[in-house]
Amino acid sequence: MITDGLPACWDFQLFIKDLHFDGVPVRIYLPKEPSASKRRGVIFIHGGCGIFGSFSKELKEKMRLFTRKSDSVVVSVGYHLAPEQKYPAQTLECLTATQHFLKTAETYGVDPARIIVCGDSVGGTFTATVCQELGHRTDIPKIRAQVLIYPYLQALNFNLPSHQKNAAVAFLTRERAVRYILKYLNKDCSLKEPILAGSHVPESINSKYRKWINPDLIPDAFKVGYKPPLPALFSPQVHQEVQELFEPRVSPLLAEDAVVCGVPDTCIVTCEHDVLRDEGLLYKKRLEDNNVRVTWHHVEKGFHSALGFFGYERVMSWVRESSI
């Protein structure tokens, strides 16, 4: 009861159904009240580092609230977790579920031109990846927008200002961020320390991506007290062990401009007390540099996993007020 909450089988205002989209488990929330026109659609991808959570356990009441307040049809994706399902199964399942909904939206009373993808934490990673991979597709409807809530977006540099400032903040410390990504990729957690130091990145890769992942790109207001770390000694052995960290499916910030320019309108939510804060700021700049329209909400007193404690009012407000 504590972990799952109440059963999701009854709601006076919603139809709630457990389905499979091309084999991927989903839970769909549909308003019972008829609509004069086709509704918006929202695909929600939950966080949990790819190793925790599911649509049956996380945020059921908030999914209901989101559906009612935004008058949308919401699809929560129950991707299978790592390490039992090996990377990149999670991303591929989110991609499959999204494609299925885009193709069949009208079946659920949804306008296929008004579908957004939304995710928190690693759900934001999967959201960013889905939008990158579908950005230039012409055989299915375009995703209207993406919402990235304190997303994890890169694994090159764990010494950005937000990593230093929030290294020991509750729910996601700097150390846990690396430990969880290693668990997600089914890697030896003893690699954590050299990755935290930056020993997994050769100078050639650092040079290539410095234009996108660089403390100098963070606004000065977010760098108070920041001290640049000493250069790390490169370890070829560690680099060889963690090649996946350099793939855009793990680090969407590393996608090429030709990919990034194709993503839809974006809303990014960052929190001040979050090790991942600066990743959202860096992606915001990358999108703007590629002429993608970005709405940015920064929560001054927010922290990673805050959605587990507070409502979706900020996101719902953006959905209601936007042109979606």
Give the residue among 174, 184, 153 at the shortest CA–CA distance from 82. Answer: 184
Q: Please check whether residue 122 is in contact with residue 91, taking contact to mean a CB–CB distance below 8 angstroms.
A: no
| Shared domain check, 127 and 52 | yes
Number of domains in the chain: 2
Residue 2 lies in a domain: no
pTM above 0.85, yes or no: yes
Residue 8 lies in a domain: no
pLDDT at 12: 77
Residues marked as catalytic = 121, 274, 304
At 144-203, the pLDDT tens digits run 999 999 999 999 999 999 999 999 998 899 999 999 999 999 999 999 999 999 999 999
Hey, what are 300's tokens? 């001054």
- C-alpha span between 181 and 193 (Å, rounded): 13
Task: Give the DSSP letter of residue 322.
Answer: S
Last residue of a domain, one of 243, 259, 277: 243
pLDDT at 306 over 90: no
3-state secondary structure of 175: helix
Domain extent at residue 182:
161-243
